[in-house]
Chain A
Amino acid sequence: MKQGIVHPVIKAEVNQILSTGYAFPLTNATDRQRQSLNLKPVPMQAATELAIIAAKTGLANMLKEAKS
């Protein structure tokens, strides 16, 4: 990554973590399955702080500029 090259799968996964806090996509199916098991929806309370961390370490910028 520091050489400016990131595999698209990895780029997508890291972006997914930074934007939702989770490594896996949250879909309607996730909500439906949790609901059917009487579980609360998956909480999404981390993204703001993760964005701060990624900006501070330079990862956010590296991701933006990296080629796949």
Chain B
Amino acid sequence: MRYALFLGCFIPVRLPHIEVVARKMLPKLSVELSDIAGFSCCPESMGFLTDRLTGLAIAARNICLAEEAGLDIITLCNGCTYTLRQANHTLKNDSALREKVNDILAETGHMFKGSIEVKHFAQVLAQDIGAKAIQAQVIKPLTGIKIACHTGCHILSPPEIMAFDDPLDPKVLKALVSALGAEPVEWDRETLCCGWTLTNYGDKESANKLLGAKLEAIHAAGADCIAVICPQCFYQFDTGQMLAARELKIDYKIPTAFYLQLLALAMGCSLDEVNLKLHRVKELALDEKLGRCLA
């Protein structure tokens, strides 16, 4: 299966080591990636914060570029998935709005046809490849690693459009983590937002409290690390944890890994290759446990 790789903004600009691991690992699972010239921000923030019509038109333009290449889109970000799937769904089902958006796009030479699908990489892994097939590729099972799975908000709701998992009881990421031989732990406050949006557009103190409550629950559950599938969630649990820890006087560290990094380790990559060293929150105990798995 071949997809148009939609990187969005966050990963190429701030977390390029996640781009590296995605480009390396997805083809190993028969997910071929094509780079499409001209993709822009999805644009999640613009759709929410300013003008819906412009947001829809920019999202539609991104979808058009993939349509012109005849490829479905694969994303690495919950926010991009949310924006593009919402736009795709809306424009496929609302002919008046589609006409309006196509009128806006006309001068750019694009026309939204509604001929492709948008999928998050975790959707492709869980729904198209399947946990069993992933498990079959594991050569270094992450045995004994306890992982708190944080699926994130935007990929879950509204479920009828996102079609990924139960927003109140998400299980898909846990199944993907289990497929690597690791142990997903149960923890309170799992379905609460990571607080990224609150940090950036709202009240930092409340965001820190929210993050602190989540970290406390993860710590209480005995997790060695947190697994995420969204760069904003990653940033919040990694850099955000470092910043919040000072304010909240948290005296423990819980490292965060993007799921594809854990997948890479389980499929035989080294710690250096997945660049955990670039993360802000590091914990020797996790490195040692992972080292034993990879030995």
Q: Which residues of A contact B (CB under 8 A)?
A: 1-2, 6, 9-10, 13-14, 17, 21-26, 30, 33-34, 37-39, 42-43, 45-46, 49-50, 52-54, 56-59, 62
> Can you list 23 A-B pairs, Cβ within 8 angstroms, ordered by A?
A2-B51, A9-B201, A10-B50, A10-B201, A14-B49, A14-B50, A22-B40, A23-B44, A24-B14, A39-B19, A42-B13, A43-B37, A43-B38, A46-B61, A49-B61, A49-B108, A50-B40, A53-B58, A53-B108, A56-B57, A57-B54, A57-B104, A59-B50
Contact indicator A24/B9 (Cβ below 8 Å): yes
> How many angstroms between the C-alpha atoms of A1 and B54 in the bound complex?
13
Contact indicator A26/B13 (Cβ below 8 Å): yes
Given contacts A10-B50, A57-B51, contact A24 B10 (CB under 8 A): yes
Contact indicator A46/B38 (Cβ below 8 Å): yes
Contact of A52 among B46, B51, B107, B201 (CB under 8 A): B107
Contact indicator B13/A30 (Cβ below 8 Å): yes
Number of residues of chain B lying within 8 A (CB) of chain A: 33
Contact of B49 among A10, A34, A54 (CB under 8 A): A10
Known: A23-B43, A46-B61, A57-B104. 14 other contacts (CB 8 A): A14-B49, A17-B40, A17-B58, A23-B9, A26-B13, A33-B16, A37-B275, A42-B13, A46-B38, A50-B61, A53-B105, A54-B54, A58-B51, A62-B51
Q: Which residues of B contact A62 (CB under 8 A)?
A: 51
Contact indicator A17/B61 (Cβ below 8 Å): no
Q: Which residues of A contact B41 (CB under 8 A)?
A: 17, 21-23
Q: Which residues of A contact B105 (CB under 8 A)?
A: 53
A17 to chain B: closest residue by CB? B41
Contact indicator A13/B53 (Cβ below 8 Å): no
